[in-house]
Each structure stands twice: as C-alpha cells, then as structure tokens.
Structure 1
Amino acid sequence: MYAIVNIAGKQFKVTKDQYVYAPKMQGDAGASVEFDQVLLAEDNGTVSIGAPIISGAMVSAKIVDHVKGDKVIVFKKKRRKGYKKKNGHRQQFTKILIENITL
C-alpha cells in the first residue's frame, strides 16, 4: 500500500514505516501530524485517483526531528573583472515517520 501525498507544497510517494525529509514544518519532535491532501492511493492492486484529492483519505505521521540538508555552494564569477562571490546555504528539513495510511 502506498499513497502520493502533498506535504507543504511538495508531492511524496509514501508507504507505512517510511522516513521522509519534507520542507520544515511547525511542531516539536514527537508530535503527530496528519496530511489530508492524498492525491493517489494504491491498496492491493486497486488504484484510487483523486480529482484533485481523495475525500476521506488520511496519512498519519510523527515528527522525528528537524535537520539541515547538505551544504549547497553558490559561486559567482566574472572572468577578467576581478569579481568573485562565494555563498553557502543549508536547507532546513523536517524528518517525519509515516505511521498509517487510511483510505
């Protein structure tokens, strides 16, 4: 059984007991969250497609931790002009554990 769910504006294919790194969300570690924007669900070979979402479908999850992603280096240079800029960025994510998918 899997579902495609909209979490904070991004679509994820999730299954039970899977860890997902979603964009940073509000909530403390250990808090429960529910996502009701289920776009597609598959259960034992039967596929349910929403238009745009499946009514009554829900994905329950638990916030495990708030983490940072890998560093992304932004380097700008114009040749022969003496212009160089180097910046770094680390995106913040929320690690969640998918506990249950209900249709």
Structure 2
Amino acid sequence: MSPSAPQRGQRPHAHRTHGVFAISVAADMVRMEVQNLRVYERRGLLTPDRTSGGTRLYSQADIEVLHRIRDLLADGLNIAGIARVLELEAEVERLRARLAEADGNAAPGR
C-alpha cells in the first residue's frame, strides 16, 4: 500500500484532509513564510488541524489551498479578494456535487 493510500475504513479522500505537515514543512512546501500561514489562518482562508497541544498540522488539501493563495497573490489579489475567490470556488464545487447527485438520481429515459 502506498503512503498516500487511505487506510481500511477511511473515506477515499480522508487522507487528503487529515493534517500531517507541521507549519514549517507546509511553509517550505509552498515557498511561503511561516508567519504568512498564520495570517491566512487568522483571516479564515484555511483551518489546519491542531494537536492536543495546539500545534498546527496541515493536510494535503490545505497545501493545495496555500498554492492557490500564492497564485492569487501573484495575480495581484489582496487577502479579502482571495477570501472571496476561495468562497466562490467552494460554492461552485458544492453546486457541481449537487448537480452530479441529481443527475445520478434522475430516472432513466428522461
């Protein structure tokens, strides 16, 4: 089994959303400063997991959000603009999932 494969009983995407990377590792992965990741969390752009001791743990999904934030910053958006883009992108994903579900539940022949 590969390291990224989900464990038995886990949802297939659970490994993507489980925090495993310390803040310094996450910052290195996306080539950002640690303090920037803390700012993005305070501004609600992402919510990493926390250990019982309060240490932030970033998931693969969090790393993807950080890459998206970096790209949007490079495009000239400010934090408020990035927050809005991320909200809209999440809404599009929710609507796509609902549409796919509705298409899957549609009666054959319609």
| Band the TM-score falls in, shorter-chain normalisation | under 0.3
Tell me which protein shows more strand as a share of its residues.
1
How does the TM-score come out when normalised to structure 2?
Answer: 0.20
Q: Which structure is higher in helix share?
A: 2
Structure with more contact order per residue of length (Cα contacts < 8 Å, sep ≥ 6): 1
TM-score by length of 1: 0.21
Larger Rg over CA atoms = 1
